[in-house]
Amino acid sequence: MTVPPNGTKNTQRLLIVEDEAHLAAGLKLNLELEGYEVDVAQNAKEAGERLLQVRAYDAVVLDVMLPDVDGFELCRRLRESGNFVPVIMLTARAAAEDRVAGLEAGADDYMVKPFELGELLARVRSALRRRRWERGHQKPSGGASLAFGRARVEFDSHEVWIDGAPAKLTQLELDLLRYFAEHPGRVISRQELLERVWKLRNYSYTRTVDNFISRLRRHFEDDPSEPSYFLSVRGAGYKFVPSGG
Ligand code: CA
């Protein structure tokens, strides 16, 4: 495990939300072998109590199929409550619509059962790296900041200020903003955004992109109906104009 710069061992806490006891136990064991502290919640109610009341977690592995509230809804409630813990969703359904639903609900990553244990561990590590940046245990790698209009963004620490006041964006909103920031002034198609930001290939559910553009506009535009920064280019896609269009 990575030891943070202050030299103390940083035991990271994970929550597994899964009602299939043998699967939950297997995941718990393997994650504990990796050095994590792991709790299991068997339903959404228990998960909600743990997440909102009992303790802070560094990441959540969330099964979609739960006996009470499904994982999408649980994730959505979590985000609405202002909790931006990294969430990796698990589902038995491979449909792209499910993946999109998970990401729209605010999940950071998505795995289809049955999955390779090694891949899940890699994704947990990746989610935790982002979390460490958020918590300031790791210095930002530098250069990954953006200022436009009334906004200032530090991508590595996941911090956004609008008129100097902190604003909360989901990981996916930040990823989308970052992709635009890396390509200022260029017209980017919805298909390219789906591929590069959502990691969806050959997928035509472009309304997802439009929904997220609307979210960015609500965050950053003075008048979301008359955008200056996130411009629609008819028939082509979107263009980010940091100087205001
Ligand atoms: Ca389940």
Question: Are the CB atoms for 109 and 119 separated by under 8 Å?
Answer: no
Q: What is the pLDDT of residues 159-213, one digit of tens each?
A: 999 999 999 888 788 889 999 999 999 999 998 998 788 766 666 677 888 989 9
242 Cα to the center of ligand 1, angstroms: 44
Could you give the CA distance from residue 84 to residue 98 in angstroms, rounded to a whole number? 20
**Could you tell me the distance, in angstroms and rounded to a whole number, from the CA of residue 3 to the centre of ligand 1?**
33
Residues whose Cβ atom is located within 5 A of ion ligand 1: 19-20, 63, 65
CA of 131 to the centre of ligand 1 (A): 25
Q: How far is the CA of 5 from the centre of ligand 1 (A)?
A: 38
Provide the total of helices (H) and of strands (E) in the chain, helices listed first.
Answer: 8, 12
Angle between the N-to-C axes of helices 171-182 and 207-220, in degrees from 0 to 180, rounded to the nearest 10: 90
Digit-by-digit pLDDT tens for the chain (245 residues) are: 444 443 334 588 899 999 999 999 999 999 999 999 999 999 999 998 887 666 678 899 999 999 999 999 999 888 777 677 889 999 876 677 777 788 888 888 888 888 899 999 999 998 888 766 655 543 334 448 899 999 999 988 889 999 999 998 887 888 899 999 999 999 999 989 987 887 666 666 778 889 899 999 999 999 999 999 999 999 999 999 999 97
Domains recognised in the chain with CATH numbers: 13-137 (3.40.50.2300), 145-240 (1.10.10.10)
Q: Give the SS3 label for residue 187.
A: strand
Report how far ligand 1's centroid is from the alpha carbon of 93 (Å).
11
- For β-strands 230-233 and 237-240, DSSP reports them as antiparallel
**Alpha-helix residue ranges (DSSP H) falling in the chain:** 21-33, 44-49, 71-80, 96-104, 117-135, 171-182, 190-196, 207-220
